[in-house]
C-alpha cells in the first residue's frame, strides 16, 4: 500500500508523523511524497489558532480532491471538532488514540514495531530534512488561559528514557545529523510517567542520557517554559553537541497581562533567567513567542511588552496575533480587541524583532562556526549553493564544489545579507 503523510503545526506533530512513517514501513508499506500517488492519506492536524484549524481542513480536502481512497484525520483539530473532521475523512482518530493509529488501521499488534524497528528516514518530499524530531512527552498540566492545546492533548505524560533512546538511535541510523527533543510541555518531562507514577526525574537526566549513550552529533531542545529550567541546566550546554539555542516562550512583557494569561512567570523572573543563561553561554540564541493583542491589553501594557522584549534583546521570535479559541477562558474575557488593533501591534513587534535579529547576526560576522547543510542547489555559474543552520540557529549560505546536504562543515561567516549570513566553507 502507498501512503501519503502530512502534518500541520508544531514540531510534535512532525515527530508523530515521522514515527507513523517508520511504523508503516516496518509493516511493509511504501511512503510516497505526492497525494496523487497514494492509496491512504494520514493528516495530523493543528488547532492552536483559527488559521491552523483552517489549514488543517484545507489539507484534508486537498487529499480528498487527489482521489485518495482512504483518509485518516487525526491530531488536535480533529480532537476538538471530531464531527466536522468526520465529514471530511473516512476515519477520525483522536489524540488519545493516536499512539496506536497505525497498528489499529493495519490490525496488527502494536508490539510489532518494537521487535525490529527500522531506521527513521526523511519523508518523501522532505529530503532537505536533516533533523529528526523526537517526541519525549505529550499533554500539558499548565492552565494558560489562551491555550486550546491543553484541552486537545490532555494531561501531561512522559515517555521512558529507553523508549526515547531507541527512537534517537533509529533516527541516527536513518542518517539524521541533529536530534530535536519535542513535546507539548517539554520541560515537564520526567514528572509524569504512566508506567511509574512515583518516579520523578529532571529533564537534565534525559539530556545526559542521550549525550552519553548515543552518538548524536547535534542535540537541540525545542520550546521550554521559563519556569521549568533547573538552576544547573545551563551547565549542560558546555558540551558542544548540545546546540546553543533556547526557545523560551514569554507571550507578554507585561506582568498584568501575564497574570491574565496565567503564565507562571514575571518580568523580573524572566530577566533573571536570561541573565543566568548568558552568564554561562554569552552567545546563546534566546528566542521567544509573543501574543499580540491579548484580551484587555491596554496601550500601556503593550508598551511594556515592546520595551521589555527590546531590553531582553532576543535573537529571534514568533509573533502571534491573538486568536480566540472556543472553550478557552481568554475567549470569554472582556475587552476583546478588534482585528485591526491586534494586527497593528503584531506589525510593531515584528519590526522590533527584525532589528534584534539583525543585530544578533552581525555579532558573528568574522567568526568560524559549524553549519549543518539542509539544502543544496546546483547552479552552472558558481557550483552548489548551500543553505544550513549553525548551532545557535543562524541561517547560513555558502558555495561548494559538490553537494554537501546533511554534512557539517566549518564555515567562515563573511557578511549579513537580509536574514542570512553569507559564508565560506573552510
Counting other chains too, the contacts that 83-91 makes at CB distance below 8 Å and 24 or more residues apart are 84/57, 85/45, 85/60, 88/57, 88/60, 88/61, 88/64, 89/43, 89/60, 89/64
Give Cβ neighbours of residue 89 (< 8 Å, ≥ 6 apart). 43, 60, 64, 71, 72, 73
Question: pLDDT value at position 127?
Answer: 43
Q: Residue 299 is inside which H or E element, if any?
A: helix 299-312
Question: pLDDT value at position 184?
Answer: 96
pLDDT in tens, 121-168: 666 654 446 889 999 999 999 999 999 999 999 999 999 999 999 999
Percent of the chain past pLDDT 70, that is, above it, reads 96
CATH topology identical between 1-125 and 364-425: no
| 208, 242 contact by CB (below 8 A) | no
Q: Which regions of the chain are under pLDDT 50? A: 126-128
364-425: CATH topology: OB fold (Dihydrolipoamide Acetyltransferase, E2P) (2.40.50)
Burial class of 79 by CB neighbour count within 10 A (0 to 12, 13 to 18, 19+): buried
CB atoms within 10 A of CB 126: 12
pTM for the model: 0.91
CA gyration radius, the chain? 22
Q: What is the CATH number that goes with domain 1-125?
A: 3.40.50.12160
Residue spans of the domains in the chain: they are: 1-125, 364-425
Question: pLDDT value at position 128?
Answer: 46
pLDDT in tens, 242-301: 999 999 999 999 999 999 999 999 999 999 999 999 999 999 999 999 999 999 999 999
Give Cβ neighbours of residue 196 (< 8 Å, ≥ 6 apart). none
- Angle between helix 339-363 and helix 299-312 axes, rounded to 10 deg: 10
Amino acid at each position: 500500500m502507498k501512503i501519503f503523510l502530512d502534518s500541520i503545526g508544531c514540531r510534535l506533530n512532525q515527530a508523530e508523523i515521522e514515527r507513523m512513517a517508520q511504523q508503516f514501513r516496518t509493516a511493509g508499506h511504501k511512503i510516497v511524497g505526492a497525494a496523487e500517488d497514494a492509496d491512504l492519506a494520514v493528516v495530523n492536524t493543528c488547532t492552536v489558532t483559527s488559521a491552523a484549524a483552517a489549514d488543517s481542513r484545507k489539507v484534508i480536502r486537498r487529499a480528498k480532491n487527489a482521489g485518495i481512497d482512504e483518509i485518516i484525520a487525526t491530531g488536535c483539530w480533529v480532537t476538538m471538532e471530531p464531527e466536522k473532521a468526520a465529514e471530511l475523512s473516512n476515519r477520525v482518530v483522536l489524540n488519545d488514540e493516536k499512539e496506536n493509529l497505525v497498528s489499529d488501521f493495519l490490525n496488527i499488534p502494536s508490539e510489532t514495531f518494537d521487535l525490529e524497528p527500522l531506521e527513521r528516514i526523511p519523508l518523501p518530499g522532505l529530503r532537505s530534512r536533516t533533523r529528526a524530531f523526537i517526541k519525549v512527552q505529550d499533554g500539558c498540566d499548565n492552565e494558560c488561559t489562551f491555550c486550546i492545546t491543553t484541552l486537545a492533548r490532555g494531561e501531561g505524560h512522559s515517555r521512558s528514557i529507553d523508549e526515547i533512546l531507541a527512537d534517537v538511535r533509529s533516527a541516527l541510523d536513518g542518517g539524521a545529523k541533529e536530534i530535536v527533543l519535542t513535546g507539548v510541555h517539554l520541560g515537564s518531562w520526567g514528572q509524569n510517567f504512566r508506567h511509574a507514577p512515583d518516579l520523578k526525574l529532571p529533564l537534565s537526566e534525559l539530556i545526559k542520557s542521550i549525550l552519553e549513550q548515543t552518538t548524536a552529533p547535534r542535540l537541540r531542545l525545542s520550546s521550554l517554559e521559563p519556569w521549568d529550567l533547573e538552576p544547573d541546566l545551563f551547565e549542560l550546554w558546555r558540551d558542544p553537541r548540545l546546540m546553543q539555542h533556547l526557545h523560551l516562550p514569554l507571550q507578554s512583557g507585561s506582568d498584568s497581562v501575564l497574570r491574565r494569561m496565567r503564565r507562571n512567570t514575571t518580568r523580573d523572573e524572566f530577566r533573571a533567567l536570561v541573565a543566568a543563561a548568558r552568564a554561562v553561554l554569552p552567545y546563546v540564541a534566546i528566542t521567544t513567542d509573543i501574543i499580540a493583542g491579548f484580551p484587555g491589553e491596554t496601550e500601556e501594557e503593550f508598551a511594556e511588552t515592546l520595551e521589555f522584549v527590546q531590553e531582553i534583546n532576543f535573537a529571534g521570535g514568533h509573533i502571534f496575533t491573538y486568536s480566540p479559541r472556543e472553550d478557552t477562558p481568554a475567549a470569554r474575557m472582556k475587552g476583546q480587541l478588534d482585528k485591526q488593533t491586534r494586527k497593528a501591534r503584531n506589525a510593531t513587534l515584528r519590526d522590533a524583532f527584525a532589528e534584534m535579529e539583525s543585530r544578533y547576526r552581525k555579532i558573528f560576522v568574522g567568526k568560524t562556526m559549524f553549519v549543518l547543510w539542509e539544502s543544496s542547489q546546483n547552479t552552472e555559474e558558481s557550483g552548489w549553493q548551500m543553505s544550513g543552520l549553525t548551532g545557535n540557529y543562524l541561517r547560513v549560505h555558502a558555495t561548494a564544489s559538490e553537494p554537501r546536504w546533511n554534512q557539517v562543515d566549518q564555515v567562515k561567516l563573511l557578511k549579513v545579507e537580509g536574514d542570512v549570513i553569507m559564508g565560506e566553507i573552510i
